[in-house]
Copies of this chain bind each other. A is one copy, B any other.
Amino acid sequence: MSEVAGRMSIQAGAHVLEKAQGGRGMLLGGVPGVAPAKVVIIGGGVVGSNAAQMALGARAQVTVLDRSTQALARLDKEFNGAVKTVYSTQDSLEEYVLDADLVIGGVLIPGAAAPKLVTEAMVKAMKPGSVLVDVAIDQGGCFATSKATTHEDPTYVVDEVVHYCVANMPGGVAMTSTYALNNATLPYILKLANLGWKQALKQDVHFLAGLNVHAGQVTNEHVAKALGYAYLLPEIAVANADA
């Protein structure tokens, strides 16, 4: 799903940059003689890499910021130097965001709220009509001014900066996302069907990690703690299931 969201973020950003959507009225790639839009991508993971592919493909001028030199070196190789990779500090972040026409927020920390990297002051200082796309919105968003929107009403404006913060972005391209999800889950479904649930839980720790409740006993530690139940190791619950 990160691949879908990363690729879609540029398509969304390009659309919102049109005059009728409140943007600066710029074509992402410009035309010969007219400079292209400056796209700044915060985060060089799966979202950032897929967004960079699309932005480069549209002939924009692309900069990716990240705090991992390894991630930046990987992107430099992937794109043969065609994206500018910049180590992310408070300084560099501010410099590039303020100069950008389109900013993609793609910082996702698994299991944690996304950090608010772009502050209200930075948004206020951005160019009128510039666009923010927050791909991290499902985890709270990585811009201070982000709040979730829908595919039906995708944007709002703060300090003349257009925000696109659609929750569940991949839902907008349901056909592509459904196939992608099928591909990712099919091997597990086949295993479940072939082995039955008991064997599947025993043979594959990924299944086991997904077991929450078994025979009246809570086998997920977080759930048990949150609801005040006793916690049973899933390995033991499954072993009992055999008897």
Contact = CB atoms under 8 A, between A and B. Distances in A.
Contact of A72 (B17, B19, B33, B177): B33
A contact residues, range: 35 or more
A33 B184 CA distance: 9
Given A19-B151, A89-B186, A173-B19, A84 B36 contact: yes
A180 interface: yes
A27 B176 contact: yes
Contacts of A86: 33-35
Contact of A184 (B3, B69, B152, B173): B69
Nearest to A55: B57
A82 interface: yes
A200 interface: no
A24 B174 CA distance: 8
Interface in A11-51: 11, 14-15, 17-20, 24-36, 50
A220 interface: no
Interface in A154-173: 171-173
16 contacts: A3-B31, A3-B32, A18-B172, A18-B173, A19-B151, A19-B175, A25-B176, A26-B173, A27-B173, A27-B177, A31-B76, A34-B179, A58-B58, A67-B187, A69-B184, A89-B186
Given A30-B176, A33-B179, A87-B186, 18 more contacts: A7-B27, A7-B29, A11-B11, A19-B172, A19-B174, A20-B152, A25-B174, A26-B173, A27-B177, A29-B54, A29-B57, A32-B85, A34-B179, A35-B63, A35-B86, A36-B84, A61-B84, A69-B183
* Top 7 closest pairs, chain A to chain B, by CB: A57-B57, A59-B81, A87-B183, A25-B174, A32-B76, A20-B151, A32-B73
Interface of A: 3-4, 7-8, 11, 14-15, 17-20, 24-36, 50, 53-54, 56-59, 61, 63, 67, 69, 72-73, 75-78, 80-82, 84-87, 89, 151-152, 171-177, 179-180, 182-184, 186-187
